[in-house]
């Protein structure tokens, strides 16, 4: 029981630490986490599309566009995922209409 409680506490602490290094109004809806493979992924919990520029220790700046309610993994060149431990900070902004159908 104690181990489970400790594990959940560590997960919550890591998620809070990742999200704390985000700047911009859209950060309120950007949730940072990692998948089962340890890759960094970002979930957009808002109603508007957002654009997040992620700064990592090894890959530099990577820009990811995320539709509302969607989750995206962050990839380097060559479709290699960025490990969540390489995350340094992010800048997030609203990017309305990027996924709107063309007319």
> Does residue 103 lie within any of the structural domains?
no
Model confidence band, residue 16 (pLDDT cutoffs 50, 70, 90)? very low
**Model's pTM, two decimal places?**
0.72
C-alpha separations of 2 from 5, 45, 101 in Å? 5, 31, 50
> Does residue 66 lie within any of the structural domains?
yes
Q: What digits encode the pLDDT tens for the residues 46-100?
A: 999 999 999 998 888 999 999 999 999 999 888 899 999 999 999 999 986 655 5
In terms of residue numbers, what domain contains 59?
Answer: 2-94
The answer to whether 38 touches 84, Cβ cutoff 8 Å, is yes
Q: Give me the number of domains the chain comprises.
A: 1
pLDDT for residue 4: 52
How far, in whole angstroms, is CA 64 from its chain's centroid?
Answer: 9
Residue 86: CATH number of its domain:
2.60.40
């Amino acid at each position: 029981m104690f181990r489970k409680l400790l594990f959940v506490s560590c997960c919550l602490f890591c998620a809070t630490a990742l999200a704390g290094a985000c700047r911009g109004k859209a950060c309120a809806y950007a949730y940072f986490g990692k998948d089962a493979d340890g890759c960094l992924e970002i979930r957009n919990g808002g109603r508007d599309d957002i654009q997040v520029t992620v700064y990592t220790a090894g890959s530099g700046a990577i820009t990811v566009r995320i539709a509302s309610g969607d989750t995206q993994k962050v990839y380097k060149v060559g479709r290699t995922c960025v490990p969540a431990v390489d995350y340094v900070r992010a800048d997030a902004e609203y990017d309305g209409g990027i996924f709107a159908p063309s007319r």
